[in-house]
């Protein structure tokens, strides 16, 4: 597993401080991050692969500074957004998966084989030539995960990947994330998704207020919000 280190990380948006001197070392296979809206958890997640740069402190992935060497870190860390429409850039499902490999140096045959593997893996093999934006919400999120996974990252960060989905599709997406071999860090409001995780971190008002197993962290979070 990769080691992700937050060293005295703080960040603000205007006058609002969203992270306050965060110190964390993440190396477990499955890590959950929970907290109320506006607590800072999505800001924290986006710093892991350099989507946001901390105003003070550093975030490193296996010793590489995510702010200074974002492109290098993003080859190792893939990011799944809440709304898959923000990640779907090509007209069809197969084209969108292939787009992720446009600079991989792979041959057309190798790219086609990887695309087919992802289509089958996520149950999209009947939809390869379909317009990507006409998929269901759950299928779009599976496509977004596949488009990240096809690049072969070592870490996947998912920022509330099931928030826009109904319960059935949320379960499908959660199972898909659970099935991958990569290290996975999930920001979520859906506490049931954290069952079986190795570690859960509770963020409140920009600070870590609890850090432990799901069995410990979820009740602590529930108690904090009344």
Residue with tokens 């934006």: 133
Tell whether the model's pLDDT for residue 205 goes beyond 90. Answer: yes
pLDDT in the model for residue 39: 94
Backbone phi, psi, residue 190, to 5°: -90, 95
Q: Considering the chain, what is the average pLDDT of its residues?
A: 95
pTM of the model: 0.94
Tell whether the model's pLDDT for residue 3 goes beyond 70. Answer: yes
The residue segments making up the domain with residue 128 are 4-224
Helices 108-121, 137-149: crossing angle, 10 deg rounding: 140
Our count of domains for the chain comes to 1
pLDDT, tens digit, 9 for 90 and up, residues 109-138: 999 999 999 999 999 999 999 999 999 999
Residue with tokens 């190795």: 198
How far apart CA 216 and CA 219 sit, in angstroms, is 6
pLDDT, tens digit, 9 for 90 and up, residues 73-84: 999 999 999 999
Tell me the mean pLDDT in the region 196-220.
96
pLDDT in the model for residue 224: 83
Percent of all residues in the chain with a pLDDT value above 90, rounded to a whole number: 94
pLDDT in the model for residue 226: 66
Tell whether the model's pLDDT for residue 215 goes beyond 90. Answer: yes
Structure tokens at 181: 């071999």
CATH assignment at residue 214:
3.40.50.300
**Residue with the larger pLDDT of the pair 115 and 226:** 115
pLDDT, tens digit, 9 for 90 and up, residues 173-182: 999 999 999 9
pLDDT in the model for residue 92: 98
Q: Quick one: DSSP state of residue 226? A: -
Q: Are 41 and 187 in contact (CB under 8 A)?
A: yes
Tell whether the model's pLDDT for residue 32 goes beyond 90. Answer: yes
Query: Residue 82 in 3-state DSSP?
Result: coil
Tell me the H-state helices in 28-136.
41-46, 70-76, 93-99, 108-121
Query: Residue 23 in 3-state DSSP?
Result: strand
pLDDT in the model for residue 225: 80
How far apart CA 17 and CA 40 sit, in angstroms, is 9
């Amino acid at each position: 597993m990769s080691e992700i280190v937050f060293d005295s990380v703080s960040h603000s948006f205007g006058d609002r401080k969203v992270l306050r001197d965060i110190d964390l070392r993440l190396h477990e296979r499955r890590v959950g991050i929970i907290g109320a809206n506006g607590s800072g958890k999505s800001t924290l997640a986006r710093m892991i692969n350099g989507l946001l740069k901390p105003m003070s402190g550093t975030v490193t992935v296996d010793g590489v500074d995510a702010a200074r060497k974002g492109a290098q870190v993003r080859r190792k860390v893939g990011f799944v957004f809440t709304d898959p429409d923000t990640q779907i850039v090509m007209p069809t499902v197969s084209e969108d998966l292939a787009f992720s490999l446009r600079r991989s140096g792979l041959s057309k045959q190798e790219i086609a084989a990887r695309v087919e593997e992802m289509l089958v893996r996520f149950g999209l093999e009947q939809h390869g030539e379909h317009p990507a934006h006409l998929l269901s919400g759950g299928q779009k999120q599976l496509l977004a995960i596949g488009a990240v996974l096809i690049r072969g990252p070592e870490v996947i960060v998912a920022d509330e990947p099931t928030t826009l989905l109904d319960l059935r599709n949320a379960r499908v997406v959660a199972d898909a994330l659970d099935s991958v071999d990569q290290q996975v860090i999930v920001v979520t409001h859906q506490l049931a998704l954290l069952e079986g995780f190795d570690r859960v971190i509770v963020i409140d008002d920009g600070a870590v207020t609890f850090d432990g197993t799901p069995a410990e962290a979820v009740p602590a979070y529930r108690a904090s919000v009344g």
